[in-house]
Amino acid sequence: MKAKILFIVLLVTTGLSCAQMFNATVMPNQCKRCELVNNNNGRVLWKKEGCGGENTYILRDCKIEAYDQSRSGAGKIGDLQCKCETWRQDPEKK
């Protein structure tokens, strides 16, 4: 039983890190920025951006932050919106 649990944990961990490694190696110039915005007043409550492997879970993190903010009283979940944009960064010249 312990071996099955260890195998499942290892499989999930490997799967998550594979997505990040894939983005870092295949798409290092792909960038993303997400902001959590309160639609009632236009305030930006949270912001994160990254390129390559750093942008793998930005949208997921924004949605988690929206849930956390709604639970802490920053607004109703329907009033909060994740706004994301993507762009390509020019490769660095060596």
Give dist(CA 64, CA 84) in Å, integer. 14
Total residues belonging to the chain: 94
Nearest alpha-carbon partner for 54 in 20, 15, 18: 20
Q: Which domain holds residue 72?
A: 2-88
Give the total number of structural domains in the chain.
1
64 located within any domain = yes
Phi first, then psi: give them for residue 11, nearest 5 degrees: -65, -45
26 located within any domain = yes
Q: pLDDT at position 93, please?
A: 60
CA dihedral of 70, 75, 76, 82, whole degrees rounded to 10: -70
Q: pLDDT at position 34, please?
A: 97
14 located within any domain = yes
9 located within any domain = yes
94 located within any domain = no
pTM: 0.70
pLDDT along the chain (94 residues), means of 10: 75 62 71 94 94 90 94 84 92 63
